[in-house]
Chain A
Amino acid sequence: MKLGFGKIRDALKGGAEKNTGEEKKERKEEELEPDRVEEVTMKTKTSEQKSEDASKTESKNEPENEPENEPMIPADRTGARKTGLIFFPAFDWAISPTHPEREERLLYTRDQIFEEGLMDLPQIAEYKPRLADFRDIARVHFCIPDIEAQATIPHRISAGSCLVLADALMRGEVKNAFALVRPPGHHAMTVAHGNRGFCNINNEAILVEYLRKKYGIRRIAIVDTDVHHGDGTQEIFYNDPDVLFISFHQDGRTLFPGSGFVNELGGPKALGRTINIPLPPGTPDEGILYVLDTLVLPILKDFKPELVLNSAGQDNHYTDPLANMRFSAQGYAKLNEKLAPDMAVLEGGYAIQSALPYVNTGIILAMAGLDYSCVKEPDFRPGMFVQAARDRHVLEEIVATQLENWKNRDRLVEAEVAKHGDFYRRKKQIFYDTDMIQEFQEETVRMCPDCQGYVTIDSNAHRSINDTRIFGVSVPIYACASCQAEAREEYRKRLNYPEYEYVYLQDKKADEYRAYNTRKKQETVY
Chain B
Amino acid sequence: MLIGIDVGGTTTDAVLIRNGEVYSTTKVSTERGNLLKSLLNALDEVSRGVPPGQLERVVFSTTIITNLIAEGKTDRVALLLIPGPGVNPESYVFPDSFYLKGAMDFRGREIQLLDEAEVRETVSRIREQGFSRAAVVSKFGQRNPSHELRIEEILREMYPDCKVELGHKVSGKLNFPRRIATSMLASATGERYQEFVAEIKKALEERDIRAPVYILKADGGTLPIEKSVAFPVETIFSGPAASTIGALALTPEGQTSVVVDIGGTTTDLALILSGKPLMASKGAKLGNFLTHVRAFAVRSMAVGGDSIVRVRETGDGVRIVTIGPERAGPAYCMGGEEPTPTDALRVLGLVEVGDLERAKEAVASVASSLGRSETEVASLIVDTTAGIIEKAVREMFLEWEQEPAYRIWEVLQKKKERPENVVGIGGGARGLISVVAKKLNAKPIIPEYSEVGNAIGAAVARPTLTLNLRIDTQQKVYSVAEEGEIVNLNSTDIGNFNKMRSKEAEALAAKLLRERAKRFGISEYADEAEIANSEVFNVVDGWLTAGRLFDVSMQIPAGLIPEWKRREKA
Q: Roughly how many angstroms separate A154 CA and B175 CA in the complex, as a whole number?
A: 27
Contact indicator A90/B408 (Cβ below 8 Å): yes
Task: Tell me the chain A residues, 147-166 only, with Cβ under 8 Å from chain B.
Answer: 153-154, 157
With A115-B106, A374-B86 as contacts: A120 and B177 at CB distance below 8 Å: yes
Contact indicator B106/A129 (Cβ below 8 Å): no
Q: Roughly how many angstroms separate A129 CA and B178 CA in the complex, as a whole number?
A: 25
Contact of A91 among B107, B535, B540 (CB under 8 A): B535
Q: Roughly how many angstroms separate A111 CA and B86 CA in the complex, as a whole number?
A: 12
Report A465 CB to chain B, min CB distance, Å: 28
- What sequence of 0s and 1s flags, for each residue 186-218 of chain A, a beta carbon within 8 Å of any chain B beta carbon? 000000000000000000000000000000000
Identify the stretch in A50-58, A97-105, A231-239, A474-482 within 8 Å (CB) of chain B at 4 or more residues.
A97-105
Q: Roughly how many angstroms separate A118 CA and B86 CA in the complex, as a whole number?
A: 10
Write the chain B residue with the least CB distance to A376: B85
Report B271 CB to chain A, min CB distance, Å: 18
Contacts of B176 in A (CB 8 A): 115-117
- What sequence of 0s and 1s flags, for each residue 64-104 of chain A, a beta carbon within 8 Å of any chain B beta carbon? 00000000000000000000001111111100011000111
Contacts of A358 in B (CB 8 A): 85-86
Q: What are 23 A-B pairs at a CB distance below 8 A?
A: A87-B406, A88-B406, A91-B407, A92-B535, A93-B408, A98-B540, A98-B544, A102-B538, A112-B86, A114-B174, A115-B86, A115-B139, A115-B140, A116-B139, A116-B176, A119-B404, A120-B282, A128-B402, A129-B405, A353-B105, A370-B87, A370-B88, A374-B87
Report B182 CB to chain A, min CB distance, Å: 12
Q: Cβ of B411 < 8 Å from any Cβ of A? A: yes
- What sequence of 0s and 1s flags, for each residue 291-313 of chain B, a beta carbon within 8 Å of any chain A beta carbon? 00000000000000000000000
Contact indicator B537/A103 (Cβ below 8 Å): yes
With A115-B175, A353-B107 as contacts: A102 and B540 at CB distance below 8 Å: yes
Contact indicator B411/A371 (Cβ below 8 Å): no
Q: Cβ of A256 < 8 Å from any Cβ of B? A: no
Contacts of A370 in B (CB 8 A): 87-88, 91
Q: Cβ of B117 < 8 Å from any Cβ of A? A: no
Contact indicator B88/A371 (Cβ below 8 Å): yes
Q: Cβ of A25 < 8 Å from any Cβ of B? A: no
Contact indicator A157/B411 (Cβ below 8 Å): yes
Contact indicator A118/B406 (Cβ below 8 Å): no
Q: Cβ of A6 < 8 Å from any Cβ of B? A: no
| Residues of chain A whose beta carbon lies under 8 Å from any beta carbon of chain B | 86-93, 97-98, 102-104, 107-108, 110-112, 114-120, 126-131, 153-154, 157, 321, 353, 357-358, 361, 365, 370-378
Q: Cβ of B387 < 8 Å from any Cβ of A? A: no
Contact indicator A98/B407 (Cβ below 8 Å): no
Contact of B404 among A93, A118, A126 (CB under 8 A): A126
Contact indicator A90/B407 (Cβ below 8 Å): yes
Q: Cβ of B334 < 8 Å from any Cβ of A? A: no
Q: Roughly how many angstroms separate A185 CA and B365 CA in the complex, as a whole number?
A: 65
- What sequence of 0s and 1s flags, for each residue 395-427 of chain B, a beta carbon within 8 Å of any chain A beta carbon? 000000111111111011000000000000000
Write the chain A residue with the least CB distance to B290: A120
Q: Roughly how many angstroms separate A388 CA and B89 CA in the complex, as a whole number?
A: 35
Contacts of A376 in B (CB 8 A): 85
Write the chain B residue with the least CB distance to A377: B85
With A115-B106, A361-B87, A374-B88 as contacts: A154 and B404 at CB distance below 8 Å: no
With A91-B535, A111-B106, A128-B403 as contacts: A153 and B85 at CB distance below 8 Å: no
Contacts of B85 in A (CB 8 A): 358, 374-378
Q: Roughly how many angstroms separate A365 CA and B406 CA in the complex, as a whole number?
A: 21
Contact indicator B406/A91 (Cβ below 8 Å): yes
Contact indicator B408/A375 (Cβ below 8 Å): no
Q: Roughly how many angstroms separate A107 CA and B537 CA in the complex, as a whole number?
A: 8
Write the chain A residue with the least CB distance to B176: A115
Q: Cβ of B103 < 8 Å from any Cβ of A? A: yes
Contacts of B174 in A (CB 8 A): 110-111, 114-115
With A115-B174, A357-B106, A378-B112 as contacts: A371 and B406 at CB distance below 8 Å: no
Q: Roughly how many angstroms separate A116 CA and B111 CA in the complex, as a whole number?
A: 16
- How many B residues touch the partner, as a band? 35 or more
Contacts of B106 in A (CB 8 A): 108, 111-112, 115, 353, 357
Contact indicator A117/B407 (Cβ below 8 Å): no
Contacts of B407 in A (CB 8 A): 90-92
Q: Roughly how many angstroms separate A353 CA and B542 CA in the complex, as a whole number?
A: 12
Q: Cβ of B90 < 8 Å from any Cβ of A? A: yes
Q: Cβ of B369 < 8 Å from any Cβ of A? A: no
Contact of B86 among A86, A103, A107, A116 (CB under 8 A): A116
Contacts of A374 in B (CB 8 A): 83, 85-89
Q: Cβ of B549 < 8 Å from any Cβ of A? A: yes
The 5 closest A-B pairs by CB, nearest first: A111-B106, A378-B111, A114-B174, A117-B177, A371-B88
Q: Cβ of B545 < 8 Å from any Cβ of A? A: yes
Contact indicator A153/B545 (Cβ below 8 Å): no
With A107-B537, A108-B106, A127-B404 as contacts: A116 and B544 at CB distance below 8 Å: no
Q: Roughly how many angstroms separate A378 CA and B111 CA in the complex, as a whole number?
A: 6
Write the chain A residue with the least CB distance to B539: A104
With A103-B538, A117-B177, A378-B85 as contacts: A98 and B543 at CB distance below 8 Å: yes
Report B140 CB to chain A, min CB distance, Å: 6
Contact indicator A98/B175 (Cβ below 8 Å): no
Write the chain A residue with the least CB distance to B537: A104
Contacts of B88 in A (CB 8 A): 370-374
Write the chain A residue with the least CB distance to B402: A128
Q: Roughly how many angstroms separate A87 CA and B543 CA in the complex, as a whole number?
A: 26
Q: Roughly how many angstroms separate A293 CA and B177 CA in the complex, as a whole number?
A: 36
Report B481 CB to chain A, min CB distance, Å: 13
Contact indicator B405/A97 (Cβ below 8 Å): no
With A108-B106, A115-B174 as contacts: A361 and B290 at CB distance below 8 Å: no
Q: Roughly how many angstroms separate A118 CA and B91 CA in the complex, as a whole number?
A: 12
Contact of A378 among B105, B540, B549 (CB under 8 A): B105
Contacts of A361 in B (CB 8 A): 86-87
Report A198 CB to chain B, min CB distance, Å: 15
Contacts of A114 in B (CB 8 A): 174-175
Contacts of A89 in B (CB 8 A): 406
Contacts of A378 in B (CB 8 A): 85, 103, 105, 111-112
Contacts of B177 in A (CB 8 A): 116-117, 120
Q: Roughly how many angstroms separate A130 CA and B415 CA in the complex, as a whole number?
A: 12
Report A310 CB to chain B, min CB distance, Å: 21
Q: Roughly how many angstroms separate A118 CA and B407 CA in the complex, as a whole number?
A: 19
Contacts of B175 in A (CB 8 A): 114-115, 117, 120
Contacts of B107 in A (CB 8 A): 108, 353
Report A101 CB to chain B, min CB distance, Å: 11
Contacts of A102 in B (CB 8 A): 538, 540
Write the chain A residue with the least CB distance to B87: A116
Q: Roughly how many angstroms separate A118 CA and B282 CA in the complex, as a whole number?
A: 13
Contacts of B545 in A (CB 8 A): 97-98
Contacts of B409 in A (CB 8 A): 92
Contacts of A375 in B (CB 8 A): 85-87
Report A333 CB to chain B, min CB distance, Å: 12
Contact indicator A117/B178 (Cβ below 8 Å): yes
Q: Roughly how many angstroms separate A280 CA and B88 CA in the complex, as a whole number?
A: 33
Report A134 CB to chain B, min CB distance, Å: 16
Contacts of B401 in A (CB 8 A): 128
Contacts of B544 in A (CB 8 A): 98
Q: Roughly how many angstroms separate A409 CA and B526 CA in the complex, as a whole number?
A: 73
Q: Roughly how many angstroms separate A154 CA and B409 CA in the complex, as a whole number?
A: 10
Write the chain A residue with the least CB distance to B85: A376
Write the chain A residue with the least CB distance to B83: A374
Given A88-B411, A116-B139, 4 more A-B residue pairs with CB atoms under 8 Å apart are: A87-B406, A97-B545, A107-B549, A353-B106
Write the chain B residue with the least CB distance to A118: B87
Q: Roughly how many angstroms separate A243 CA and B229 CA in the complex, as a whole number?
A: 63
Write the chain B residue with the least CB distance to A112: B106
Task: Tell me the chain B residues, 102-147 only, with Cβ under 8 Å from chain A.
Answer: 103, 105-107, 111-112, 139-140
Contact indicator B538/A371 (Cβ below 8 Å): no
Contact indicator B89/A92 (Cβ below 8 Å): no
Report B547 CB to chain A, min CB distance, Å: 11
Task: Tell me the chain B residues, 43-82 only, with Cβ under 8 Å from chain A.
Answer: none
